[in-house]
Homo-oligomer: A and B are copies of this chain.
């Protein structure tokens, strides 16, 4: 498939900063890969933040230093070519390889605030503070952005060797949007203005 290797670190960081869910791969004791969607954040420009229940299989593996792959993909469009062979997707995909570093107890709160700011921008002061037992039940890890690669495709279906004007070909752009916010039944305050600015 025609696609482009991207080497500009700033572009990769833009993709990581724009996403909310990564597909995280680890290998289990039998050599079976396991790929699980996980909400993530970015810590400055040097690490992905992941968090989960300390008791979970995934976070026990990460805390034990298992090799991990963190993949963030944005699907931008469906590319319909003259042939199914040349049809494709437009996308941006960043893949991070490495091992996770466990965030120490005294650093957890700061790193979880960064994660929260990534997932729910400007909402930090609206959340009730974290409780000690919540912090204790949560494993927080940082996956360093050292081994990182990106591929993307962002062009049309035109293929000079295979363009039949009588066949339709082209791109269907894909957009993700938020619907109207649905407040909880008990909520007696209006939707905060900053939430209206969030991007999906």
What is the interface of chain A, defined by CB distance below 8 A to chain B? 1, 20-21, 23-27, 30-37, 39, 52-53, 67-71, 73, 75, 78, 80, 82-85, 87-89, 91, 93, 95, 97, 112, 115-116, 119-120, 123-124, 126-131, 134, 138, 156-158, 162-192, 195, 198, 200
Contact = CB atoms under 8 A, between A and B. Distances in A.
B21 A89 contact: yes
15 contacts: A20-B89, A25-B33, A30-B67, A33-B33, A35-B71, A36-B95, A78-B120, A80-B120, A84-B116, A87-B120, A126-B167, A158-B185, A172-B179, A174-B177, A177-B177
Given A27-B31, A198-B172, A91 B37 contact: yes
A82 B127 contact: yes
Contact of A192 (B112, B168, B174): B168
Nearest to A170: B183
A187 B175 contact: no
B188 A182 contact: no
A88 B189 CA distance: 20
A76 to B, nearest CB: 10
Contact of A168 (B37, B169, B176, B195): B195
A45 to B, nearest CB: 22
B39 A34 contact: no
Contacts of A126: 167-168
Contacts of A200: 75, 78, 172, 174
A69 B33 contact: yes
Contacts of A69: 25, 32-35
B127 A84 contact: yes
Nearest to A24: B35
B130 A84 contact: yes
Contacts of A123: 80
Nearest to A129: B83
A96 to B, nearest CB: 10
